[in-house]
Structure 1
């Protein structure tokens, strides 16, 4: 009852001036939660100083956000995971120094980047597109640091193998594409999907608020309390794209893509950092030891009480680990400047 009185008092104090915007906000939350989610991302991009830009190349358009300018530290290119978007990285960018040049791109077909029926969304196909993006905005004028999570980690690792001269170092966060020796909850789902000839629903492509909540439980060890309206909004935002997500999913679990990272590890010569949540139920943490065995010089950081959604669950820790690794590698190459 006290909360109800607080709301009444707010309207009385606000009077006619604020009543309309407040009502508009409440209406958007109750009736159009998807609009509120888009406004949320827009607000945080502005708050963190990120600007959205488009890069056109041969009729194909990439959408990306960036902050800062190329400087003493290498540029950081960030590749998000399956069915996500560039704003996935906002939680991590928040804890990175503002002078760093950071570029977050929508992966092929995702969010604001061009989607075509004829495009190749296999890991190799996405690698070619990301290289096209890097070339278009001249990101490869000097070696950059690449960060990729989940599907973006698979793409990032294969990118490093195919274009070794373009990277100075790399961070892979819970990357797909590894034959991890221990099965996960998601591996069991995948087996059920294969046995049903993919007639069952895909856990990473929710169609209801309940399925969205199940996806969060699968991807996160930390239990976030998410209001039903927000869950509905998240579903509403994704629903128009679910057919596309199904197409991409079938590509990345196909024989050509499923273990692409592992098949290219021997070609990677850039200094590598691996960050993994110990409680990952999607891609088992045992994949880190597989990478470390094949690339003994890589640095492995395992995070306690953390699942697959590392950038959401441990954003501050992730940002600090990435920055430490970049500075360590730069100092090892002879750049001894101490400022970060």
Structure 2
């Protein structure tokens, strides 16, 4: 399946849908997959069919769902030439809407993911700052809550491929980091690792999450913020999971940064791709997969959404780079008291895997897992493997 695209844009995530038991959602996303396949040469449609078969082989109990969903998909495939004209209006409508506001497509997909996984979107305003987060479950006296911090230019939705593997009785919070998602995005704030950690601390206090120590999980930029938070608020963190954390000097050793400096990638001053073609070239630095193919529609959509937030993400990137140059996290990592786990993609081309050695040197008791067949964005490349390791770590003594 390495040649098939595994991104949030791909609507046909049948393995997750079938596991949820929501047949209506299976049908809706299968239709959307076919809808998009007109433009990406059937990749999404084939992906949906293959995933359905894979799920049944992994879990025979899903056979009855397959019996209902697969014929629908097959009929859609057989009838496609005739239905193209029937749905031409919808296709035009989709592109008109995406042209006017491309984020609507992603927002609709995110809404489906939230509904499917039982999350409620909530807002918390403190002074002039508003936090947006998704929450599922309630705090428990016996099991720590889990707080997830995402990476640069992403949002809380990047965790969906992973968090579907979390038992429903766990209390989970997915936070839109400061300057990202639907949280406040103000250019007059400082978004350094330490300042973002302070904002997270404010969120923890305001929502009452800090009444009991919780498990903190951070990826990339979120991993760096998690380090700063755990160092400055040791009583709040029972355990710490870092997924290829950014912020150490090794960040600059990654292929992306090196190629950008050589001019192989054309970026702006904040290291962001300057156009759709460069965005398309940059995406493989985030994900791992031999023969990885990126649909042009996805590249265009990703760039359009990114462009709308270029100013704020550029500000965040600049503030983070200042911390990297001053080795701020190198000082904070030695102050972390919580048991720490590090997961790093073996083929991470954005943040060099040698960063794991920095964490291990500062925290000798930490667990380090180099994840095979995985790049930087672990939550998409190896979501179930990563979540399995995190849950095992959380449940260990």
Distance 1:311 1:28, change over 3 A: farther
Mapped partners of 2:323, 2:184: distance in 1: 25
Between 86-95 and 113-122, report the one with greater CA deviation: 113-122
Number of the residue aligned with 2:253: 183
2:29 match? none
Which 5+ residue runs of structure 2 have no aligned equivalent?
A: 1-74
Which residue of 2 is the match for residue 16 of structure 1? Answer: none
More moved, 167-176 vs 289-298: 289-298
1:127 to 193, 197, 200: 197
Q: Which has the higher contact order (CA 8 A, sep 6+)?
A: 1
SS of residue in 1 equivalent to 2:343: strand
1:221 is aligned to 288
Aligned to 1:53: 122
Change over 3 Å in CA distance of 1:117–1:268 after alignment to 2:
same
**CA deviation map 1:41-70 (0-9, x unaligned):** 111111111110001111211000011111
Match of 2:231 among 158, 161, 164: 161
Tell me the equivalent position of 1:147.
217
Q: Number of residues paired by the alignment? A: 315
Show the counterpart of 1:206.
273
Counterpart contact for 1:148–1:155, Cα < 8 Å: yes
For residues 56 and 319 of structure 1, the distance between their equivalents in structure 2, rounded to whole angstroms, comes to: 30
Contact 2:129 2:184 in 1 (8 A): yes
* Deviation per residue, 1:58-109 (Å, 9 max, x gap): 1211000011111222110000000100101111111111111110111111
Using the size of structure 2 for normalisation, the TM-score is 0.74
Please tell me the root mean square deviation across aligned C-alpha atoms, in Å.
2.5
Following TM superposition, the consecutive aligned residue runs of length 4 or more in structure 1 with deviations greater than 6 angstroms are: 2-5
Q: 1:11 to 1:82 in 2, by over 3 A?
A: closer
The equivalent of 1:102 in structure 2 is 172
CA distance in 2, matches of 1:83, 1:181: 16
After superposition, what is the alpha-carbon deviation per residue over 1:290-334, rounded to whole angstroms, capped at 9, x for unaligned?
Answer: 211221100111111111111110001011111000000xxx2xx
Question: What is the match of residue 335 of structure 2?
Answer: 267
- 2:92 corresponds in structure 1 to 27
Conserved? CA contact 1:180–1:287, under 8 Å:
yes
Structure 1 unmatched ranges of 5 or more: 13-18, 194-198, 333-340
Contact 2:179-2:313 within 8 A present in 1 as well: no
Structure 1 window deviating more from structure 2 (171-180 vs 316-325): it is 171-180
Q: Given that residues 252 and 351 in structure 2 are in contact (C-alpha distance below 8 angstroms), is that contact kept between their aligned partners in structure 1?
A: no
What is the distance in 1 between the residues matched to 2:274 and 2:90? Answer: 25
1:280 corresponding residue in structure 2: 348
Query: So what's the TM-score if we normalise by structure 1?
Result: 0.85
Work out whether residues 51 and 65 of structure 1, in 8 Å CA contact, stay in contact via their aligned partners in 2: yes
Whether the aligned pair in 1 keeps the contact of 2:267 and 2:273 (CA below 8 Å) is: no
